[in-house]
């Protein structure tokens, strides 16, 4: 099967599974996912599946990327913060849909690779930072949108909700116990935060301690 045929098959699967936003579908179509996937998994780059990247992390399943992106209710004037750059794929999708993307990753080698991909694709509206994303990016706050692509505890980190603009939306997988995260949408209104449960999901954990030799392998499929 050609790459194009695989791509069309993926887009049809996303539509069947509730991705209706044509701008999100167009972004998935235009960002070459194969560039974000390790050589050993090239044949699966356009399959609707999460794949391993370096250091025990994963590039998320395209359906999850598309649904989380859609759940953010994006428009092209917004400034978005992403926590968990990983391969950079999700940041690349966001960069086609909004004004500016700020993305934070705790594992430097992954961030270096992601930056090379942004350069190669000329995605000049993405700014990266190496560090603990649970602290957000205070110098750039507030953000109209925040997307967390690693699973947090029962509640969103306070530093992140504090950096959400009034009228802003955050999408974040929250646990639960082992393999029991749910994607949650949090909105900041004039009077406080509202929380809406969207769907169940599995993600690698959001870790706030510094990286170490004993980092656990990803528990996401
Ligand atoms: N969005 C990525 C997939 C994310 S995998 C993609 O499109 O490929 C989750 C990532 O979150 C991993 O790379 C992990 O290292 C990172 N991560 C986990 N905890 C973090 C934290 N506190 N701050 C920043 N990044 C974190």
Its pTM stands at 0.93
**pLDDT digits over 156-193, tens only?**
999 999 999 999 999 999 986 666 789 999 999 999 99
Q: Look at residue 63 in the predicted model and tell me its pLDDT.
A: 96
CB-based contacts of 60, cutoff 8 Å, min separation 6? 50, 86, 89, 90, 149, 203
Specify the residue with its C-alpha closest to ligand 1, atom 23. Answer: 133
- Ligand 1 in contact with 119 (CB < 6 A)? no
Indicate whether 61 pLDDT > 70: yes
Q: Is 95 one of the annotated active-site residues of the chain?
A: no
- Domain 3-200, CATH among 3.40.50.150, 3.40.50.300, 3.20.20.140, 3.40.50.1220: 3.40.50.150
The rounded percent of the chain whose pLDDT value lies above 70 is: 93
CB-ligand 1 contact for 86 (6 Å cutoff)? yes
Torsion of CA 128, 99, 20, 52, to 10 degrees: -10
Among 52-56, 99-103, 212-216, whose mean pLDDT is lowest? 212-216
What is the whole-number distance in angstroms between the Cα of residue 1 and the centre of ligand 1?
A: 32
| Any ligand 1 atom below 6 A from CB of 90 | yes
Q: Is the pLDDT of residue 93 over 80?
A: yes
For residue 135, report the phi and psi dihedrals to the nearest 5 degrees: -90, -5
By alpha-carbon position, which residue is closest to atom 10 of ligand 1? 84
CB 188 within 8 Å of CB 196: no
Average pLDDT (54-75) is 96
pLDDT of residue 217: 47
Extents of the domains making up the chain:
3-200
**Confidence band, pLDDT 50/70/90 cuts, at residue 209:** confident
Rounded Cα–Cα distance for residues 48 and 175 (Å): 23
pLDDT of residue 68: 97
């Amino acid at each position: 099967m050609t790459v194009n045929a695989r791509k069309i098959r993926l887009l049809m699967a996303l539509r069947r599974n509730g991705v209706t936003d044509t701008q999100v579908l167009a972004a998935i179509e235009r960002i070459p996912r194969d560039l974000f996937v390790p050589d050993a998994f090239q044949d699966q780059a356009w399959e609707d599946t999460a794949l391993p990247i370096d250091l025990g992390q994963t590039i998320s399943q395209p359906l999850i990327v598309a649904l989380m992106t859609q759940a953010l209710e994006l428009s092209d004037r917004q400034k978005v913060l992403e926590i968990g750059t990983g391969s950079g794929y999700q940041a690349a999708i966001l960069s086609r849909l909004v004004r500016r993307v700020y993305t934070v990753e705790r594992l430097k080698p992954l961030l270096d690779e992601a930056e090379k991909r942004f350069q190669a694709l000329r995605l000049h509206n993405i700014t990266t930072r190496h560090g603990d994303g649970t602290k957000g990016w205070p110098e750039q706050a507030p953000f109209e949108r925040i997307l967390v692509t690693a699973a947090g505890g029962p509640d969103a980190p306070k530093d992140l909700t504090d950096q959400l603009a009034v009228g802003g939306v955050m999408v974040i997988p929250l646990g639960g116990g082992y393999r029991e995260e749910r994607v949650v949408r949090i909105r900041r209104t004039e009077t406080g935060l509202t929380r809406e449960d969207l769907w169940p999901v599995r993600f690698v954990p959001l870790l706030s301690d510094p990286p170490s030799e004993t980092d656990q392998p990803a528990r996401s499929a």
